[in-house]
Structures are given as structure tokens and as C-alpha cells.
Amino acid sequence: MSKKKVSIVDVAHAAGVSYQTISRVINNSSSVREETRRRVLDAIETLDYHPSLSAQTLKTQRTRMIGVIASQTQYAGPLLTLAAIEKMARDHGLFVSLATVDEAHLSRNDFAQIEQSFIQLGVEAMVIVAPTENMLTLAAQPDSRVPRVLITAPEGIQSLDSRGFDEEKIKFVCTDQSQVSSDIASRLKHAGIRHVYYINGPEQWRDAYTRRSACERACKLHGLSVDIIDADDWVSSKSYEHLSRLIKEVGSDHLKNCTIWTANDLLGMGAYRAVQEAGLDIPKDVSIVGYDDMPGTESLMPAMTTVNPQYEKVGSVAMRLVLDMLSYKPVINNEAYEMQPEPIVSREFSYMYLVEPQLVIRESTRQER
């Protein structure tokens, strides 16, 4: 014989309250006394009661659904951001529907279809990871029907003001490259470095040209000369190819007392190979700085100095903004809790939040004198 499904009436009877009180507890109403709330939660746990999502939706007119649009990626950083978004949503009783796209070939029609599908599904808000200018343009429309948080690079965000979008319905979460780039350049200068070769990623990615611009500004600020090497990709083979060609053209001695600064750690790994094959010592002859703090960079010989962009923090900040937009109280294990303040987040404009990355100093850069 199948076990009888527990109903809200059963929970009310066990807790000694009305079924309306059970509903208020489930929906985190502030009108329920703490002692009563605790008794109801104990009854829910004892009876293993699972409220009907469809019934809650009909009653509250809220689906607790969040739509997420992100690029198809195998890189650890964006995956950490997505995992943080999903976890925080789940901890707060929300559900995530994910759509992955090819950001390089995403058309306006493609984006509109995904957005319409989310609207039909009943999502209350969207989080959009926009790595390219194309995705940012599609996502930051002034007539957006659904509140949204965009995760993207900060370069050029201010220019979107002219579109007249509703700042209460669109927010941006970005990684601030300026301060960490200045910190890197300052350390290089005090280590006796005077020239930087910056290996750039694909410029169609907003992160690539934002990191490159931040490097150029920082080098100028601290009196370092810089040459840009366009790898036009994120993979190690490209930096190895370009740097090996440069060494053949100018000679390995030309790189001595220089720094190879790369747009991500994979490009840094390619630089390691090219430099070491040329008989140069890291960091005695050449310093190398990466970006991403990928797993394994600490085990290279020597361990790579890099930047941790706080990918998980970016995802959690995005979800905090969603919760604020939708006025959802945070819930973990059916218990309300207060969200902790974000110590490394600054507010650049009323609609843009900057997450500060962390410089990770290891052995691939020369020590300051």
C-alpha cells in the first residue's frame, strides 16, 4: 500500500495551528511569532512535508524561477560563477533555468527567443553573463520586461546611460581591473622591471580589452613601457607561438629584465614554455604574471603569480541584487537568516557594482627591492 501524501492540514494538526499559519511560515511571513515558526518547521521536518510549488505559485503569483543565460564554456572561472548563482538561488528557495549560447554567433532573434521562453516559463528575473559586446548589446535593452542583472566587464558601461534604461530593473556586476593592475605594475617597478610584454586575449571578449586597457593605464601610471602581443585566443599554444616568434626575431637577451603579463593563466603557461625553451630563468631573467588563478598554477615551476578574479563572489553578488530586486527574504533549510555584508564590493554608479579581484603573489615574479 502506498504511503499517504502528507497535506498542509496534517502539518497544521501536528503543529497545533491553522493551515493559514503553515502557509505564512512557508512564505516567510514576518507576522508569525518565532516560537510558532519553530514549531511549524519542526512539524514540517518530522512529517517530511513538501509543499506544492504549483499551489504556491497560484496563491502568491510568484514562480520563484530565475532565468540564467551564459555562454557555452569549458573554462573554470565562468563555471564557478554559474555554480555560485545556482547555490545562492537554491539556498533562498529559488530555482534556476539555464540557457547556454554561442556568444560569438548569437543573433538578436536567438536572444529574443530565449527571453520569450523564459517569460513564458514565468521567470521573475534574469542573470545574464555577457562576455562579448554583442551579448551586452542584446541583454541591456531599455524596454526589458523582466528585471535582470548583467555580469560583464566594466569598460564602456557608462556609455549605456544614453539608452535610458530603468536602473531599478537592470544592474551590472563587474570585476574591477584598475586597482589590481596598478598593484601589479607598482610591484614590477619596485622589483626593477622597466618593460612589459602584454599577451592579449581575443578582443571580441570584453574581459580581454578591459584587462589590456587596465594594464596599459597601470604601466603608464608607474612609468613602465609596454608592448602588446595579440594572441587573439585564450589558449596556451597561441602565446607560446607568438612569444617564440618574438624571441627568434629579437633574441632571448632582449627579454631579460622584462615581464610577460598575460590576459589569462593559459596564455601564461604558453609563455612559461617559450621562455624556458629559450634558456631564460623565471623569475631571475623574466617575470611572468597570469590571470584567473586556475587550479594548477600554484604547482608550476616556479608557481605562477596571478590574479584571482573572485568568480564565485561575482555570482553571489549578482544573486544578492536579484533577491533585492524581487524582495525575497533569504532562506536556508527553511530558516530565515540575514545576508552578510560584502566587504570587497564597491558601487561605482547606482546600477553598477564592482568586485575587487585579489593579486596572488607567487614565485614567477621577482621580489621587490
Which range among 13-27, 62-76, 188-202, 334-348 shows the weakest confidence by mean pLDDT? 334-348
pLDDT digits (tens, 9 = 90+) for 114-151: 999 998 888 999 999 999 888 888 888 777 788 999 99
Q: In the predicted model, is pLDDT for residue 352 greater than 70?
A: yes
pLDDT digits (tens, 9 = 90+) for 251-269: 999 999 999 999 999 999 9
Domain positions in the chain are 8-60, 65-163+321-339, 178-309
pTM: predicted TM-score of the whole model, two decimal places: 0.80
The answer to whether 211 and 201 have CB atoms below 8 angstroms apart is yes
Which range among 11-20, 43-52, 157-166, 188-197 shows the weakest confidence by mean pLDDT? 157-166
CA 252 – CA 258 distance, rounded (Å): 11
CATH topology of domain 178-309: Rossmann fold (3.40.50)
Query: Looking at residue 24, what is its pLDDT?
Result: 78
Nearest to 99 by CA among 124, 76, 127, 75: 127
State CA 269 to chain mean position distance: 23
State CA 342 to chain mean position distance: 15
Q: In the predicted model, is pLDDT for residue 330 greater than 80?
A: no
Q: What is the largest CA-CA distance in the chain?
A: 84
CA angle 26, 30, 31 (to 5 degrees): 95
**In terms of CATH architecture, what is 8-60?**
Orthogonal Bundle (1.10)
CA 338 – CA 341 distance, rounded (Å): 9
* Side-by-side strand order, sheet with 65-71: 95-101, 65-71, 125-129, 148-151, 170-175, 352-355, 345-349
Residue 283 Cα distances to 204, 213, 269, 276, 296, angstroms: 31, 25, 14, 11, 18
Q: In the predicted model, is pLDDT for residue 357 greater than 90?
A: yes
- For the record, the C-alpha cell of 150 comes out as 548583467
Task: Please name the residues in contact with 233: beta carbons below 8 A apart, sequence gap of 6 or more.
Answer: 201, 202
Do the first three CATH levels of 8-60 and 65-163+321-339 match, i.e. the same topology? Answer: no
CATH superfamily of 65-163+321-339: Response regulator (3.40.50.2300)
